[in-house]
Structure 1
Amino acid sequence: MVDVTVPQLLQQGVPMLKVSAKKQKRYVFKLDPDQGQIVWESKKLRIIPIENIKELREGADARYYREQFQLAAHFEDRWLTIVYVLDGGYKTLHLIAGTHDVFQMWDITLRRLYAIRQKLMSGLGDTDVRQAVWEKQFWRSAAPDTGADQKLDFDEVERLCRRMNINPSREDLWARFTEADSMNRGYLDFADFQRFVKALKARPEIESLYKRLSAGYGGLLTYDAFERFMRTSQMSSLSQGELQRVFLRYASKDVELSNSAASSPAQNSLELAVKSAAIVEEPVRSSPSWDFDMHPSPSSSHSSATLVASSSSQSSSAFSLKSDVMSIKGFTTFLLSADNSAFADQHGKIYHDMSRPLPEYFVSSSHNTYLVGHQLVGESTIEGYIRALLHSCRSVELDIYDGDVEPVVYHGRTLTTKVLLRDACAAINKYAFVASPYPIIISAEIHCSVPQQELIASIMHEEFGEALLSAPIDGRPKIDVLPSPEDLKGRILLKAKNLYVSDKDDLREKEISVDTESSSTETSASDMDLADEAKQEWRRAREAEAELIKDLKYEFKKARNTFGRVRPHRTELAPNMSPSPRSDARDLPPANQAPQKVKMSFALVVLLVYTVGVKCRGLNKKEVYAPEHMFSLSESTANRILKHSMMDLIKHNKTHLVRIYPKGTRIGSTNFEPHRYWSAGAQLVAINWQTLDLGYMINHAMFQRNGRAGYVLKPLALRTADKQLMSHRSRHCFEVTVISAQQLPRPKNLLGREALDRSILDPYVEVSLHVPDWTQAHNHIHSSELSQGRARTSQRSPASAETGTSPATTSARTVTVRTAVVRNNGFNPVWDQQLSIPFDLVGDMRDLVFVRFAVKQEGAIDEEPLAIYCASMGSLNMGYRHLPLHDAQLSQYLFSTLFVKLGIHDL
C-alpha cells in the first residue's frame, strides 16, 4: 500500500503566492484531510471544500492564466489552478508554490483527496467508507484544537448534535450520552463517539420494511423473500443467476473496518478511505487520453445488470441460498448500494445504438459558450469551453469578429470582454474528447472580413489538425443521409451559415420575407396564396414586435443595476453601437436598410460538410432542404412554430439537424426549459451553461444518460416514419412515498461555511413533474385530474415553471406536490407520506418528463432548496430507492440522501 498520509507540512500550512488579475499576495495554505478543506487566512478565514472542486490544473494546463497575468514562464512548474464552485458560481484559485518539491506535495496529495471525494460523490454505495469519512469529519470539527487525545463532554456533544441538524431534548440526549459512555468517565472518546453515532443513525423505517418482507419467512430475509421483493417492489429484470449473486453479495458476513483503522482518531480519513475502498492512487489529470474504441464508463450509478456483470461475484458454491439470510445491516447496505440505484443509466447499444444518423439524437449543446456571466457585461474566456466540454457538452458556440491581428470571440455590440479565437480553439481541442469520444459541433456566427475568414480557417486547421472535418468521411460528394456519432468519433465539425447557399434563396426571401432566423417569423404549412401569406406574416411580425418590446423593457430594467456596477470607462456605448443584446439582432427587424451580402471565404466553405447553415424558408411542402442543411431558430420563433405547425417541425427533425437558442432578451443568461423543444425533435437545444437554473438542471438530467456521452437517442416516436406513435396518448399517475432523509446539509454562508447561527431545520420535500406541451390539443392536464391529485395530498396549485425570465415566457407544464413539515430535525426526518401526481404522455415518451425532488426549509420560500435531485422519468428505477442529493450547483453531498418509494400506474 502506497503511503497516502497527508504530510504534516501541508496540514500545518505552507506559504504560497496567490495570483489574481489585480495582485499577487502570499498566504499560508493548509490542507485539512478530515474536514476535507483547503484553508487560508486573508482578511477572513477562507475555505474551499474539496467536494466543491470541479477541476485541478497544473503547469502547462494552466498556461492560459499565467500568460493572461503576464507572469514569466519559469513559474509554470510551480503553478496550480483550482477551479471550484462557491456561493452559486464558478471561481478559480491560482497558486504558485515556493519550490517545486512543495508544489508536487500539494498537487499529488490534493489530487488523491479529490479523487476520493469524487468517488464518494458518484452515486451511492461505499457505505463503510462514507461512515468513516463522516465520523472523522464531525469528530474533528467538534473540538478541533484538542489533538489526538480529543474528548467530548456532554455540552460539546449537545453542540455537535445541533451542528448535525438534530435537536433532541436534553433528557433524551443525556440517556444516549450515558449509554455511549461505556466506562462511565463523563466524556466520549472516539470509540464511544462511534457507538453514539451508530445509535443516532438507526433506521427504524428500514427495520419496519425488513420485518414486513421477512414476516412470512420466519422473520428472516431469505433468498425467496428477497427475490419476491425484487420482482414485485423493485420491478427488477435481472436474471435468476444475477439476482442470486446480488443476494449472496449482501448476505455474506458483514465487512467491518478493522479496529485499528476504525477507532484510531490519529489516523486521517484519507487513509481510512483508501484502505477501505481500494481507490486508485494515480493522480487525476485534467486531460486523460481516450481509447476511441471504448465508451466512457459512467462515474455515477449504473443499471443493476451492468453492475452485476462487472462486479466481482462470489462463488455460489461458497454459500447456500437455502441457509444464508440477509441481515438488517446487509439489507440496509443493499438499499444504499449501486446495485439498488435509483438512476438507470441505460448505457450501451441495447438502449442507445450510436450507429443511427445524427438527426436521431439529442445533442448536449451550449449557447454563448465563451461567456461566464452576464450577456451584456460578462467576461469572455476559454473557461466556458473547458467547463462545458468536461461535462460532455458536444456543441459549443463561437461568435467571431475581426481582431487587431487575429479574429476574436465575444458577444458583439455589447460590453463583454474579448478572447482570441486561437485560444478558444486550443481549449476546445484540448478538452474536446476528455469526457466523450463523440463528435463536437462548433456553431459559429462569423462576422469577419474575408481576410480574417481566411485566418479562421487557418487557425482551425492548425489547432484541430486531422480532427477537423473538411470532406465527407466516405469520400462521396453527394450526401443522402447524415453519418452517425459512431462514424464521426473524434471529429470536430464546423457549422456556420453558407452565404453562397443563402444567395440562391434571395428571390424567394424577397417575395414572402420568411427568414426565420433573423426576422422571427415562420411559414404556415398550408398551401395558401402569397397575398394571404404576406398578410399573416405582417400580423405575426407585429405581434412579435410587441412581445419583443415588452421583453426588452423587462430585461433592461433588470440590467440597470448591473450596468451601474461596471467601471465608468465601460458604461458608455460607442456612438455607432446599438443596445441590442444579440450581436446580429436576431429578434429585431433591420433598420430600414437592405442588409449587405458579405462574400465568404472558400477556405471556410469547404469546412461546412454535414452542418451547412442555411436560412429557414419555412416548413411547407414547397421547401426542400438537403440533408446537410441546418438552420437555427430563436426561442421566440420556435415557440410560434410549436403553436402553429409542431408536426411539420417534428417531421423535418427526423432527417435534419435544427438548433434552438435562447432569445436575445435573456440578458441575465437565464435558460428556457429544453424539454419543450426536445418534444418537437429538435436536436441541438442550446442553453447557457453558466446559469445553474431549472433549464440547466433538466439538461443535466437528460445527458446523465448514455454514459454521459453527450448524445442521447431520441424516443422512437420522434425518429420513425410511423405516424401512429405520435397519435398515441396515455394518462398515468406518478406515486411517490417520501419516507425519510438522512443527514441533510445545513445552509452555508457566503464563505462556504455552515451557518451555525441558523436554527435547526424544519424540512419538507417538494416533488415536481415537468411535462412538455405535447401538442396544442393536449396542452393541459384535465382539471378533474388535478383536483383528484390535490385531494390526496397537500398540493400547491399547478404553476407555470418560470425560470426567472420575463412574464411573456412560454414554458412547459409543471405540477408540484409537497409533504408536511418535520420540526427540529434535519438529521433523520421521517415523513412516510404518499404523494400522487397525474401526468400525460404522447408516443410513450417518458424520457421527456422530468422529476425534481427538492428538500426545503419551512419559511425560506425565497432561498435555494437545501438539496435537490432531478432525473428523467425514463431513467428512474421504481421501488424503494435512496436518491443522492445535490446542492444548487448539482454537486452531490457526501452524506445526504432521500429515501423514497416510486411507482407509476395507468389512469
Structure 2
Amino acid sequence: MDPEGARIQDDPDVKVMMAGSTLRKVKSRSWKKQRHFRLLEDGLTIWYKSRWAGRGHSTFSVTEVEAVREGHQSEVLLSIAEEFPADLCFTLVFHGRQGNLDLVADSPEEAQAWIRGVRKLIHKAQTMDEKERLDQWVWDWFQKADKNKDGKMNFKEVKKLLKMMNVDMNEEHALHLFTMADKSESDSLEIEQFVYFYKMLTQRDEVWKVFQDYSGDGEKLMLEELENFLRIEQHEGEQSGQHAKELIDRYEPSETAVKQGAMSLDGFQMYLCSQEGSIFNPEHQNLYQDMSQPLSHYFISSSHNTYLLEDQLRGQSSLEAYIQALKRGCRCVEVDCWDGSDGEPVVYHGHTLTSKILFKDVVSTVKEYAFKTSDFPVILSLENHCGVEQQTVMAQHLSQILGDTLLTTLLDGQVPQQLPSPQELKGKILLKAKKIGGLEQCLDETLTDEVSDDEEMADGDPESPCTEDPPAANKKHKKSKLSRELSDLVVYCKSVHFHGFEHARSHAKCYEMSSFSESKAKKLAKEAGTDFVQYNTRQMSRIYPSGLRTDSSNYNPQDMWNVGCQIVALNFQTAGLEMDLNDGLFRQNGCCGFVLKPEFMRDATSQFSPEKPEGHQGYKPLRLSIQVISGQQLPKVNQKEGSIVDPLVRVEIYGVPQDQAKEETSHINNNGFNPVWNETLNFVIHAPGLALVRFLVEDYDKASRNDFIGQFTLPFTCIQAGYRHIHLLSKDGTIIPPSSLFVNISISELTSGS
C-alpha cells in the first residue's frame, strides 16, 4: 500500500518502537509511573497503557509532536536529575498548548532508539506531500474501523466508519459505491478497494465544474487552458505561462499527462489543495518586508505574564511558558520579579497563589530559546518589585547569563533621534525597565540612585489588583530605590509615566516608553486617535490586559493596532479569537514577530484616525467578495458515534470600527464531510492595510451556542484572489488536516457608482 511506509518500518529504531518498551512517565518528583509504549502498525500512532489498568490506554499521533528534547531538558526532569542520569531521559514536546510528556528509559540505548525513532517519524510526517497525507489519513481511518484486524470491511462496518468520518450519506448511494469498489465481489473491501471507494465518495463536483469550464475535452487541461485559468480566475497576470508548466510538473500524478504538458482532474484538485492553491499568498509567507526602519514602525508580537501556563490566581509559573511563547514568534516577554527568601529573586504573580520560579532560570531559558524561531530582537519587559540588593543580583544574572546578546550600549555611541531597526538589533536582547536619568546623562555620574515621583508607577500595571504594593508602602513621599547596576542595562526601552500627547511632543525622547492598561488605551484611541497614531510613529507603547482578567482572558488587540501601538501584550496561554488575530497578523513576514505598520502609520505628520479612515490621503476602500463553495472533511465536534455536524461558515472582518463586520452562510444538516454552500458574502474594507479576515466554521445548534469546528485568520493584504482552499486550524492554532474550505475570492476597487 505504502512503499515509503514499508521503508520506514524497516528502520532499526522504528523496529524498537514497534516492539514496544516500558518507559517511566514522570509528572513530578513524586509521580513516576511505568507505562508500556509502542508504535502501532500505521507508523504514526503511539499507544501506551499502564501495565495494571484493565482496559484504559492512551494514544497520540507523531504529527502532534513538535520536537524531542534529550536529557534533563524540562523542569520536571531537572527536578529528578539526581535519580535518573541524563542519558535515560527525554521529553516529547507537542504542538499547541498540550503539555509535554517526560519519559525515562531503562537503558541509554533504548532512550536513543526512541529519540531517533520519533525524530525520523516526525521528519517523514513533515515531508509527506498532499497525496501521501490524504492516503495516510484514509489508511488511519481504515485501521481504526477494522475492529477484528482482518484487513477487510463489510458494508455494515463501512457505514459505521462513514459516521466516524463525519459523513451522513444516502444508504442506497453508499451501497452503490460499495458494490462498484468491491471488485472481487466478496461483500467486503480490502484497504486498496476502500481507498478507491473513498475516492469515488470524495469526487468533488464543485472542482469538476471549474475544471470543465476551462477544459476543451473535459478530460484534461492543456497548457494553454491551464494558463487561461491562472490568468482569468487566479489573477496571475503575466507570469501565468511559466507557472502553468511548473504546476503540471509539481502536481500532475499521471506521467502521460506530464509528457503531453497537460493536467488531469486529479492533478488540478491536488494543485488547488496545495500551499500554492491556499488563500495565503506564498510571497508573504517568507520575510518580505523592509526590516531597516525604526522599531516604532512595527507591530511586535508580545506576551503578558509570560510565566503563566494557566490563570493568574492559582496557575503554575513555568519556564515552559516562555519556551512556548518564544517558539510562537513572540518578541516581547514579561518577567514579574519579587524578592526571594534566600537572596535570589523569584518570578510569579505577586500576592497570589501562583507558584514561583527563579529569575536566573527564566533568563537562561530566554537565552536558549530567544532566537530559535526568529533572529530579530527580544524585549525583556521587567516588572520590578525587588529591593535594591536583589535588583543588583538581577543585573548580575542578566549580564553573566546573556553576555553579548544583552544590548547594554548605544549602537553607534550617539544619542538617537529615532529608535534603531530590527535589522540592526538582530540577535540582541533589550531590557525594558526604569532607568536613572536618560541616555544624554549617561556620562554624568552625579545622579542619585533615586527615581523621581512621576516615574514611580511607570513599570507596574497599576490596575492590577494582584500587583499593587500594600497601601502603607505606597505613600507619595516614598522614593523608589533603583539599583544603579540594573538601571545601566536599560538602553532603548526606558519605562516612563505617560503625561499626555502634548507633553510627549515637546519633551519625550524616542527611547522612552509607557505602558497603558487596555481601558486607558481604548479611551485614548477613541478620544485622540490621530494623536496616538502620531505618538506611536516615534515612541513605543505597551498595552496590557486589565488586572480584573484573573482568568487570563484577552482583550481584542485590533483596537490597539488601529492606533499603531507596537507592543500589544496578550496572554499567549489562552486560546480564542484574540490569539487567533495575533497569530493571523504575525503569520506573515516569515513569522519573525515583527510586521511593518502600513505607511500611513509611519509618517510623523499622519492625519490618520481609525474613527475616520476616509480622512487620510492614501484612502482607497476595496470590495471583498467571498463565494463560500464547500467544505472538506471537517472534524467532529462531539466524538459520540451518532452525532454529525451541521456546519456553517462565518466570515469576520476585524479592522477600523467601520470595517468590523460579520456575515455567515446558512447551515447544512448532517454533513461535515463534503458540505456545499455556494453562498456569496460581501464586504467593503475602508482601511485594507489594517484589516484581518477570520474564517470560522461552526456546528449549528438551535438550542444553545454553536460549537467551534475550526478557523483560519490572515491579514487582508495577504489574501490571494481566485479559487482557493483555506486549511483550517484548531482552537489551539494547530493544523487539522485534511479539513479545509473551498472559496472563490474577488477583490475590486470601489467605484463611486457601486
Q: Which has the higher contact order (CA 8 A, sep 6+)?
A: 1
SS at match of 2:365: helix
How far residue 850 of structure 1 moved from its aligned partner, in angstroms, is: 3.0
**How far is the alpha carbon of 1:633 from its aligned partner?**
1.0
**Change in CA separation of 1:507 and 1:403 when aligned onto 2, cut-off 3 Å:** closer
Farther-moved stretch of structure 1 (358-367 vs 25-34): 25-34
Cα separation, 2, equivalents of 1:860 and 1:324: 54
1:73/1:237 CA distance change after superposition, 3 Å = farther
- Are residue 41 (structure 1) and residue 49 (structure 2) matched? yes
Amino acid of the residue matched to residue 736 of structure 1? Answer: I
Corresponding residue for residue 213 of structure 2: 212
| Partner of residue 666, structure 2 | 820
Deviates most, 615-624 or 381-390? 615-624
1:711 aligns with 2:599: no
Structure 1 residue 598 displacement after superposition: 1.9
TM-score, with normalisation over the residues of structure 2? Answer: 0.89
Report the CA distance between 1:157 and its aligned residue: 1.2
Deviations along 1:80-113, whole A, 9 cap, x unmatched? 2223369xx5322211111122211211121222
Q: Which amino acid aligns with 2:78?
A: E
Structure 1-normalised TM-score? 0.75
Letter of the structure 1 residue corresponding to residue 92 of structure 2: I
2:735 maps to 1:889: no
What letter is aligned with 1:61?
Q
Partner of 2:407: 469
Report deviation, 1:4. Answer: 2.5
- In 2 relative to 1, CA 429–518 (structure 1 residues): closer, same or farther, beyond 3 Å? closer
The alpha carbon displacement at 1:194 in A equals: 1.8
Is 1:830 aligned with 2:713?
no
Mapped partners of 1:334, 1:838: distance in 2: 30
1:65 aligns with 2:68: no
Deviations 1:352-411 (A, max 9, x none): 111111111111110000011111111111011100111111110001111123111111
User: Which residue is equivalent to 2:172?
Assistant: 171
Deviates more, 1:614-623 or 1:174-183: 614-623
CA-CA distance at 1:223 after TM superposition: 3.0
Q: 1:425 to 1:637 in 2, by over 3 A?
A: same
Aligned-pair distance for 1:590? 9.1
State the match for 1:91 in structure 2: 99
Unaligned runs of 5+ in 2: 440-446, 610-614
Preserved contact between residue 627 and residue 655 of structure 1 (Cα < 8 Å)? yes
| Structure 2 counterpart SS, 1:866 | strand
Distance 1:484 1:611 in 2: 13
Q: Distance in 1 between matches of 2:88 and 2:514?
A: 47
Moved more, 756-765 or 476-485: 756-765
Question: Shift of the alpha carbon at 1:127?
Answer: 2.3
Match of 2:144 in 1: 141
Deviation, 1:436, is 0.5
1:743, 1:828 within 8 Å by CA — same for their partners in 2? yes
2:123 matched to 1:115?
A: yes
- Equivalent residues in 2 for 1:230-241, closer than 5 Å: 230-237=230-237, 239=239
* Residue aligned with 1:636, SS: helix
User: For each residue in 1:500-552, what CA deviation from the matched residue of structure 2 results, as whole angstroms up to 9, or x when unmatched?
Assistant: 46999x99977xx99787797xxxxxxxxxxxxxxxxxxxxxxxxxxx8xxxx
Partner of residue 339, structure 1: 276
Q: 1:324 aligns to what?
A: 261
Query: Is the alpha carbon distance of 1:455 and 1:138 closer, same or farther for their aligned partners in structure 2, counting shifts above 3 Å?
Result: same
When residues 507 and 440 of structure 1 are mapped into structure 2, their CA distance, relative to the original with a 3 A threshold, is: closer
Matched, 1:18 2:9: no
Taking structure 1 as reference, are residues 210 and 860 closer, same or farther at Cα in structure 2, changes over 3 Å only?
farther
Asked whether the 8 Å contact 2:696–2:712 carries over to 1, the reply is: yes
Of the three residues 760, 763, 770, the one matched with 2:644 is 760
The alpha-carbon distance between structure 1 residues 23 and 519, as it changes in their structure 2 partners (threshold 3 A), is closer
Give, in whole Å, the separation in 2 of the partners of 1:833 and 1:589: 60
Aligned residue in 1 for 2:302: 365
Where does residue 302 of structure 1 map in the other structure? none
The range that moved more, 232-241 or 481-490, is: 232-241
Matching of residue 52 in structure 1 with residue 64 in structure 2: yes
Amino acid at match of 1:410: Y
Structure 2 partner of 1:736:
626
Deviations 1:543-597 (A, max 9, x none): xxxxx8xxxxxxxxxxxxxxxxxxxxxxxxxxxxxxx633147xx9999832622
- Cα 1:229–1:855 shift into 2, 3 Å: farther
Residues in 2 aligned to 1:59 and 1:240: alpha-carbon distance in whole angstroms: 51
Kept in 2, the 8 Å contact 1:375–1:581? The answer is no
Following superposition, the deviation at residue 346 of structure 1 comes to 4.3
Structure 1's 233 and 174: CA in aligned 2 closer, same or farther, altered over 3 A? same
How far is 1:483 from its partner?
A: 1.1
Aligned to 2:442: none
Q: Which of these residues, 609, 615, 619, is aligned with residue 497 of structure 2?
A: 615
Cα offset, 1:249, TM superposition: 2.3
Structure 1 equivalent of residue 334 of structure 2: 397
Which secondary structure state, in structure 2, belongs to the residue aligned with residue 61 of structure 1? coil
Change in CA separation of 1:590 and 1:228 when aligned onto 2, cut-off 3 Å: farther
| Distance in structure 1 (CA, Å) of the matches to 2:571 and 2:702 | 30
**CA pair 771-724 structure 1, distance change in 2 beyond 3 A:** closer
Contact 2:637 2:645 in 1 (8 A): no
When residues 409 and 425 of structure 1 are mapped into structure 2, their CA distance, relative to the original with a 3 A threshold, is same
Cα distance in structure 1, aligned partners of 2:397 and 2:458: 31
Letter in 2 for 1:79: C
Partner of 2:89: 79
Q: Distance in 1 between matches of 2:92 and 2:477?
A: 46
Q: Residues 651-690 of structure 1 correspond to what in structure 2 (within 5 A)? A: 651-690=534-573
After superposition, what is the alpha-carbon deviation per residue over 1:620-639, rounded to whole angstroms, capped at 9, x for unaligned?
15641112111111111101
Moved more, 662-671 or 761-770: 761-770
Compute the displacement of 1:892 (Å): 0.5
User: Does the residue aligned with 1:171 lie in a helix, a strand or coil?
Assistant: helix
Shift of the alpha carbon at 1:840? 2.8
Q: Percent identity?
A: 32
- Cα displacement (A) at 1:838: 3.6
User: Which amino acid in structure 2 is aligned with residue 628 of structure 1?
Assistant: Y
- Kept in 2, the 8 Å contact 1:738–1:832? The answer is yes
2:249 corresponding residue in structure 1: 249
The total of aligned residue pairs comes to: 722
SS of residue matched to 2:100 = strand
What corresponds to 2:721 in structure 1? 878
Quote the offset at 1:46 in angstroms.
1.8
CA distance in 1, matches of 2:179, 2:416: 78
User: Is the 2:285–2:587 contact (alpha carbons within 8 Å) kept by the matching residues of 1?
Assistant: no
Per mean C-alpha deviation after superposition, the further-off stretch among 135-144 and 603-612 is: 135-144
RMSD of Structure 2 on Structure 1 (CA): 3.1
Residue type matched to 2:297 in 1? E
Residue 426 of structure 1 aligns to a residue whose secondary structure is: helix
Give distance in 2, aligned partners of 1:65 and 1:877: 45
Alignment of 1:301-316 (within 5 A): none
The CA distance in 1 between the partners of 2:337 and 2:457, in whole Å, is 22
Counterpart of 1:400 in 2: which secondary structure? strand
8 A contact 2:538–2:604 mirrored in 1: no
CA distance in 1, matches of 2:158, 2:102: 38
Q: Do residues 31 (structure 1) and 16 (structure 2) align?
A: no
Give the C-alpha shift of residue 441 in structure 1: 0.5
**2:427 matches 1:490:** yes
Counterpart of 1:459 in structure 2: which amino acid?
A: H
1:694 maps to which residue? 577
Q: Is the 8 A contact 1:768 1:851 kept in 2?
A: yes
CA offset digits 1:296-337 (Å, max 9, x no partner): xxxxxxxxxxxxxxxxxx9xxx96xxx633221221121112
Cα drift, residue 242 of structure 1: 3.4
Q: CA separation in 2, counterparts of 1:477 and 1:733?
A: 47
Aligned partner of 1:604 in structure 2 is: 486
Q: Is the 8 A contact 1:880 1:900 kept in 2?
A: yes
Q: CA deviation at 1:175?
A: 1.2
1:537 is aligned to none
Take 1:627 and 1:862, find their aligned partners in 2: how far apart are those partners?
47
Q: Secondary structure at the match of 1:56?
A: strand
Separation of aligned partners in 2, 1:494 and 1:387: 20
Q: Is 1:436 equivalent to 2:374 in the alignment?
A: yes
1:851 corresponds to which residue? Answer: 694
Comparing 737-746 with 727-736, greater Cα deviation is found at: 727-736
